[in-house]
Copies of this chain bind each other. A is one copy, B any other.
Amino acid sequence: MSTRTVERIRIRYGETDMMGHAYYGNYLLYFEQARAAWLRARGVSYLEMEEAGFKLPVVEVWAKYRGEVKYDDVIAVTIWAEEMRRAAVHFKYEIVNESTGKLVTEGYTWQVCVDSSMKVVSIPQFFRDLASEP
Dominant SS at the A interface? mixed
Enumerate 9 A-B pairs (CB-CB under 8 Å) in ascending A order: A14-B28, A15-B29, A17-B18, A18-B18, A18-B20, A25-B25, A25-B27, A59-B64, A61-B63
Instruction: Give the shortest distance, in Å, between A48 (CB) and chain B (any CB).
Output: 9
Instruction: Give the shortest distance, in Å, between A57 (CB) and chain B (any CB).
Output: 6
**Chain B residue at minimum C-beta to C-beta distance from A108:** B62
- A interface, how many residues as a size bin? 35 or more
| Complex contacts, A26 vs chain B, CB 8 Å | 14, 25
Instruction: Give the shortest distance, in Å, between A9 (CB) and chain B (any CB).
Output: 10
**Chain B residue at minimum C-beta to C-beta distance from A55:** B19
